Amino acid sequence: MGWLRDWKRKRILGRHRIDDALWRRAMTRLPFLAGLSSTAERRLREFAVVFLAEKQLTPVGGLKLSDDDRVEIALQACLPVLELGLECYDGWVGIVVHPSDFRVARAETGDDGVVHEWDDELAGESWPGGPVVLSWEALDDAGSVAEGGANIVIHEFAHKLDMMSGAADGVPPLPSRQARERWIEVLEAEFERFRRAVDAGAQTFLDPYAAEHEAEFFAVASEAFFESPNALRRDFPRLYDLLMGFYRQDPAKRLPA
C-alpha cells in the first residue's frame, strides 16, 4: 500500500505548508540543523509538514502548544529519518506532551518471585506500536547536549527506530546479518567501555544514564550524534561510524567542531 501512502502525502504537501517566518524561527532555535544542504533542508521541511498532518500531538495537564512548539517537535523527530524515510514512523499516531516530567508506575518480579513496585519520574517514554510521551519542560533542553543537557525528542524517536527490529535493545533494523553482527560487536564494546568509565567516576560528555542499558546507550548516543557530532566522533569514533552508516548522515561534516 506504499502507493496510497505516497498519494496521501502528496495531497498533504499540496494543501499545507510551514510559514517562512515560523520556519526561520525554528531553524534559529535549533542550531544543530545548521549546515544542511538546500535539498536536505527542503526535504526536512516537507517531512515536518507531513509529520504534523499524520501525527496527533496532544498536550495534557492544561498545557497549550504553540505552532512554534509543534514545528520544533516535528523537525527534531524528522531529522533522524531524513535519509531513512518517514515510513519508519508508520503504524502509530500519538504524541502526548506533559507540562513537566511525569510519573510511571513500574513492577518487576525478582528471581525470588517477589514483585517489586516503584514509580519512575520520566522526561519521555516510547511504547512499541503506541505513543511517544514527552515532557514540555525537557523540550527546552534541545541544543544543550554538549553542555550536559539532553534532546528528549531525538532520544525517544531513536527508541522508536530501535523498536522497529522487534525489541528495544539498541539494535535497530539493519540490511543484512553481517551488518547486524558488526553493529552488535561495536555497540557492545563501546557500551562496556562507557559503563566502566561511568563506574570509575570518569567525566564524559554523554549522559551517564546511557550506562543503564544498550537501548539507552543507542538513544543517548543518537542525541549526541545529531547535536554534538564532533565530540562523539572524538570520544567514540567507532560508534560514530556505526551511527553514520545507520542514519546515512554525517553531521560532523556540516557542524563546526
pLDDT digits (tens, 9 = 90+) for 104-163: 554 555 566 554 444 455 667 888 888 999 998 888 888 788 878 889 999 999 999 999
Closest C-alpha among 215, 229, 187 to residue 35: 229
pLDDT at 251 over 90: yes
Phi and psi torsions of 134, nearest 5°: -130, 155
**What value does the mean pLDDT take over residues 211-216?**
96
Each domain of the chain, given as residue ranges in start order, spans 2-254
Separation of alpha carbons 214 and 62, rounded Å: 35
Cell representation of residue 197: 568509565
3-class state of residue 19 by DSSP: coil
- Per-residue pLDDT band at 42 (split at 50, 70, 90): very high
More confident residue, 211 or 142: 211
pLDDT at 187 over 90: yes
pLDDT at 221: 97
**What value does the mean pLDDT take over residues 215-228?**
97
Cell representation of residue 173: 533494523
Q: Write out pLDDT tens, residues 58-109.
A: 999 999 999 999 999 999 999 999 999 999 999 999 999 998 765 555 455 5
Separation of alpha carbons 81 and 76, rounded Å: 10
Fold of 2-254: Cyclin A; domain 1 (1.10.472)
Average pLDDT, the chain: 90
pLDDT at 109: 57
Closest C-alpha among 107, 109, 105, 110 to residue 122: 105
**What value does the mean pLDDT take over residues 216-227?**
97
